[in-house]
Amino acid sequence: MTNSSRRTLPPTIIIIFGASGDLTARKLVPALFNLGIDDLLPKNFHLIGFGRKCISDDVFRDKLKNSLKDYSRRTVQDEIWSKMEPHLSFHAGEYDDLDAFVSLKEKIDSIQADLNESAQCIFYLSTPPSGFLPILDNLGNSGLARLHQNTAAASKVIVEKPFGRDLQSARELNQVINRRFSESQVFRIDHYLGKETVQSLLVQRFANSIFEPVWNRNYVSCVQITVAEDLGVGSRAGYYDRSGAMRDMIQNHVMQLLALTTMEPPSSLDPEAIRDEKVKALQGIKPLSLDDSHAEVVRGVYTEGLVAGEKAIGYLEEKDVPSASYTETYTALCLQLDNWRWKGVPFYIRSGKRLRQKVSEIVVQFTRPPAILFGKNSKQPLSPNLLTIRIQPDEGVSLSLNSKTPGLETKLQPVNLSFGYDTTFGSNTPEAYERLILDAMAGDGTLFIRGDEAEQSWGLLSPVLDSWQALGKQGLESYSAGTWGPLAADKLLLNRGHEWITK
């Protein structure tokens, strides 16, 4: 992970496909603007929005400025905007129209002629997956994918998730990408990997000697990874019903957190060294058991309930959700890694909507010490030591220890040693997309997903999805909105001697 303050970036042209979409307005343009405030954009930087609707450059610029007012973490600075504005333009065309890409290349050639030097082109696919294939093919057919090959200004492509719907479609997508780009040119983006706490996970593990010696089966009882949302599907029901919790969150966000938690120390901070170890970690996961007698998978759907004291409708009552839907809004898994470091340690992961609160965290539960001096009776209960890495909403790290309470009797109580990013480093933390876009411009793939990573993850989860497809509603548990999920998810842990750690 390169020190971004020391990077020298080549002239860069970012072309955003789907430039009229929410992602561009809410995340991409604010990220670029804040990089501009921090003087981290290349000296010569251009942004071209590519979309189907024909609009003028001025209209496009006004739209982007308004999005900054609504979504930027810092207020619009006229000095920075006045520098960026002349270099923002719009290019209209259909994704399957080769002529639109040929004319895009002519526009790019014109910009390079004005610069009198080569510029790297970064093609950002901020479209639904249906747009990936025609865009990638036309980038290849127009010659845009091969611009300045084998130089520092070689073209790059950023692909937003989802990276397929299952193993077969992930392989097909990778084949399409690799026909046009080499793997070093491809940046599969998962915004979770740009969050400060996720980036800090490797630092916590490998820069602190108190953790690495105990980060193994001898001292860890279990690991829990939670990505919970208190909101329902809202206006995304059409998309969500085709995806569900497994595809929407588990396959990408959660599996990446798992890989970073379980990977072996890389030989260096070289991006490929880190990604090699992540793949090895995923390769070590045993296939999930779907046998009812020892099931390692739970799925559920939320029903009517109370969230923060307000009545919430069930998933099947949400607008645009089919009445016959059996899409899961909650998934819990018990994963086992068949390797030397983690043999016998269960990894419990869960994600869902309409849960009690919004929280994303990794909790490492250490083994209890022998109950010889303490923990023999109820007055001296021994709580397990917990290392909690909080990813959102309040990013930080805490360590739970047992301590004696004040008084004449020896009574134990767990206490927390904690730090938060807001209180320690200030509240104006860079957004994940700022870091990720900056890394892509610098060609640093550390925080991006490699093609074999995506396939490895899908290879584990596709059999589960196939089984659910065959079962339909059979085995689909229910849980009230505002709770922590179905009872079966609690039993998943209780049957193995653990319970979910919740606030």
Please name which of 440, 445, 451 lies closest in space to residue 156, comparing C-alpha atoms. 440
H-helix segments, 93-151: 98-115, 132-141
In whole angstroms, how far apart are CA 417 and each of 369, 386, 397, 400?
A: 19, 10, 8, 6
State both tokens at 53: 């609707």
d(CA 102, CA 307): 52
How far apart (Å, rounded) are the C-alpha atoms in residues 162 and 248? 8
For residue 118, how many other CB atoms are within 10 A of its CB? Answer: 15
**Whole-angstrom distance, CA of residue 323 vs CA of residue 250:** 24
CA dist., res. 383 & res. 372, Å (int): 14
Q: Which amino acid is at 481?
A: A
Q: Are 447 and 280 in contact (CB under 8 A)?
A: no
| CB distance 234 to 329 below 8 Å | no
Please choose, from the candidates 338, 299, 334, the residue with its C-alpha nearest in 3D space to the C-alpha of residue 222.
334
β partners of residue 90: 49
Please give the structure tokens belonging to residue 482: 């505002």
Told to judge if 91 belongs to the known catalytic residues of this protein, a careful annotator would answer no
Query: Which residue in the list 46, 91, 191, 253 is annotated as catalytic?
Result: 253
Q: Which residues are catalytic?
A: 253
